[in-house]
Amino acid sequence: MRPSSLALQDRLLPGVSRTFALTIPQLPMALRPAITNAYLLCRIADTVEDSTAMAPDDKDAHYQRLLAGLNDVSAARKFSEALLDTGLIQDPLERDLIDQTPGVLRAFGELPVDQQAALQHCVTTMCQGMADFERLKDPYGLEDSGCLRDYCYVAAGCVGEMLTRLFAGIHPRIHEQREEFRRLSLAFGQGLQMTNILKDVWDDRQRGICWLPRDVFEARGIDLTQTQNWQDHPGYRDGIRFLVAVAHHHLRLAQDYTLRIPASEVGIRRFCSWSIGMALATLRKIADNPGYTASGEVKISRRRLGLIVATNNLSVGNDTRLRGVFRLSRYRLPCVQEQEIGPLLAGHDGNI
């Protein structure tokens, strides 16, 4: 990738994600440009999804223009101009990202062909899946657990698959076990996405969106379409604890994924273990206070983040120490048996 493209990516990344601006530099140099580019492309797609005032057909048109830009850099400017012309992108950092999309897509075209293929599959899956889910959005949640599982795949599971392809491209041992890594990557993505959904449930509701599966709560005596003040209902709080347990189950598989990565790949292990540690710490705060009504109530502190980073950095090069850190990170979290998870078990129905 050209120095000017690297510089553009490095400038844009901290503005749209402080977390990834911390974790991506931990990766081997051979992966950093591609994974930075992938995150920026996913964030560009998210900017379309987050525009709640935009009609589903209009969003679909923006997604298609973005996908066209993967193969034709001249089409990228059409995407930027059309999206900015809606007047719906108000955040200055997001406007800058959309304005610079042609440069991000130009950088994509400078990646090795095999890395381009992995990114293109991921971004295509995400854009097409988000377009489908746009028509299922509801302030009272998704219809059932299967819908949540499939949403987690298009929002995060496909990212796990992409990262696995990129990791396998630089390490023979990961390549040899790529199918097992791919299976675990779906759980990894779902665990992280479920954590984000739970953390942001009240912020999302203010935007007229809810990703909670209604069947989980109906089984506990609460109809999300009819009940006011969900947080006051015992069945709602029990449903939240169940979803925490399901996310916890998937993050345990994410820990298995991380331990399968050769200990010599300290950077990749850091990249994975930091995100798992932050997610588990968030789940613990949610489990301790399932009646929370704002994301700020369950957000982890900077001090906790620093502790997560420090303990993982001390242990990633040694399997025994890393297993110990992982056990401590799961302490006192709600658990669920795999057979109780049902349609929420990681994966997708193949129709996405």
Residue ranges per structural domain of the chain: 1-135, 137-352
**1-135 and 137-352 share one fold:** yes
Instruction: Please name which of 348, 318, 77 lies closest in space to residue 187, comparing C-alpha atoms.
Output: 348
CB 181 within 8 A of CB 164: yes
In the prediction, which pLDDT does 53 show?
A: 84
pLDDT per residue over 145-170, tens digit each?
999 999 999 999 999 999 999 999 99
AA letter at 218: E
pLDDT per residue over 94-117, tens digit each?
999 999 999 999 999 999 999 999
In the prediction, which pLDDT does 106 show?
A: 96
Range 125-140 average pLDDT: 92
In the prediction, which pLDDT does 115 show?
A: 97
Determine which helix (DSSP H) or strand (DSSP E) holds 44, and give its type and residue range: helix 32-49
Q: Does the pLDDT at position 198 exceed 60?
A: yes
Confidence category of residue 352, pLDDT binned at 50, 70, 90:
very low
pLDDT per residue over 26-83, tens digit each?
899 999 999 999 999 999 999 998 888 888 999 999 999 999 999 987 888 999 999 9
pLDDT per residue over 219-235, tens digit each?
999 999 999 999 999 99
- Range from 45-54, 127-136, 237-246, 305-314 that averages highest in pLDDT: 237-246
DSSP lists the bridge partners of residue 142 as 213
3-state secondary structure of 16: helix
In the prediction, which pLDDT does 350 show?
A: 42
Instruction: Please name which of 147, 122, 142, 113 lies closest in space to residue 45, comparing C-alpha atoms.
Output: 122
What top-level class would CATH report for the domain 1-135?
mainly alpha
Dihedral (CA of 129, 132, 133, 134) sign: positive
How far apart, in whole angstroms, are the C-alpha atoms of residue 223 and residue 245? 21
In the prediction, which pLDDT does 348 show?
A: 58
How far apart, in whole angstroms, are the C-alpha atoms of residue 271 and residue 279? 13
Residues in the chain, how many?
352
How far apart, in whole angstroms, are the C-alpha atoms of residue 286 and residue 213? 17
Q: Which two tokens stand for residue 23?
A: 């974790």
Torsions phi, psi of 95, nearest 5? -60, -40
Q: Return the HEC string of 278-330.
A: HHHHHHHHHHHCCCCCCHHHHCCCHHHHHHHHHHHHHHCCCHHHHHHHHHHHC
Average pLDDT of the chain is 93
Confidence category of residue 20, pLDDT binned at 50, 70, 90:
confident
* Sequence-separated (6 or more) residues with CB below 8 Å from residue 5: 33, 103, 106, 107, 110
- CATH 3.40.50.1010 at 137-352, yes or no: no
DSSP class of 142:
B
**Percent of the chain having pLDDT more than 70?**
99
